A and B are shown apart, each in its own frame.
Chain A
Amino acid sequence: MALHGNLIVSIEECKGCGLCVEACPPKVLHLTQQLNHCGYHTVEYTGQGCTGCGICFYVCPEPGALAVYRLAA
């Protein structure tokens, strides 16, 4: 599967609410077992299958926790 998109998670901004995990159409996000410095299980991209649709960004309540990239045309 081609990598259309990519996702960078800012670990210290993520609060582990899981809304992005729920909303992600290709289901390529999950919450890790690690805790960040605030004590949240943060989200992680499996590294495969992101389409760059940006839905995770829209449902995320934090302004800068997620950065979505798309493969330039």
Chain B
Amino acid sequence: MPSQLMKGNEALMKGAILAGCRAFYGYPITPANEIAETAALYLPQLGGVFLQAESEVAAINMCYGAAAAGARVMTASSGPGISLMQEGVSYLAGAELPCVIADLMRGGPGLGNIHPEQSDYFQVVKGGGHGCYRNLVLAPASVQEMAELTMLAFDLAEEYRNPVFVLADGCVGQMMEPVEFPEVMKVTGAPEWAVTGTAATRHNLIHSIHLEPADLERHIRHLETKYKRAGREILRFEEWRTEDAEVVLVGYGIVSRVLKAAVERLRRRGIAAGLLRPITLFPFPSAALRRLSARAKLFVTVEMSTGQMVEDVRLALEGRAPVEFYGRVGGIIPAAEEVSDFVVRLLTLPQVEEERAWMAMF
């Protein structure tokens, strides 16, 4: 057997373990539970730690402690839990601690529901916690990527000393697909900056407080430099049938797969459509979008939200081409046919033609 059938959530945690994760602190929430349950089953058998905390606030602060002590640590949650974890995420970023956080997005606001949405984009990609920091964010679209991108997340977290989110909609976590795990087995020791309770690390200090304005500015500039470096080094995206695309659909996670089907439908109707799928949401593939705008006359962002990532698409294109938005919420996954119908409607609407004509003047 080259591969085995597995749920996305299970593949995510098994990938994490293969990447050297030996500590998980979490709190139950649907649709992320299988991740904690997989961790609870295997980590103690591997000499690792699994602990169900009293809250998400405690869980993320336990991650802070474990990371400070040099553990490869992660947690997993969904929207309401991620909201509670934002305090700890800000502290992790401020103290430059590596931690992997899986967010299996569900419907909001408030209790919302447990069906898949992509409405945590703002709180994960654009911030959420206080202060000038960024999360590195990876967005898997398949069970295979749940494993692979989580493994990558651990490496990035350690290299950048920063929280890394695996941002997936609940759908990708719950679905089963064949997955094949790479052979690599990570064996990691504690990083040299960690506080491990030894003579060698006695002078190490983990903190996020910088009383003097000049000190804090220096620290924030240092963080900023890391984020810029990430923009050069870790950017990932997938282009699909964009070589001749005049209409570019933009979507991530499960939506990007629906969009591939939509591209096929549009092409059958004679519309040269393509797909750009951001795999890293921060850093965001802005340059790729700008490059595509040389040919594309229309960009259509599709999300399971009322429009969050679309703001980054608009910022990237800086008015070079019209950006339209199509979204479904509440747990409804848009169907390929409704997306293709939407695009066809857009292309026949006079105002879009006018807008395109107006833009062509520049």
- Report if A and B touch in the complex (beta carbons < 8 A): no
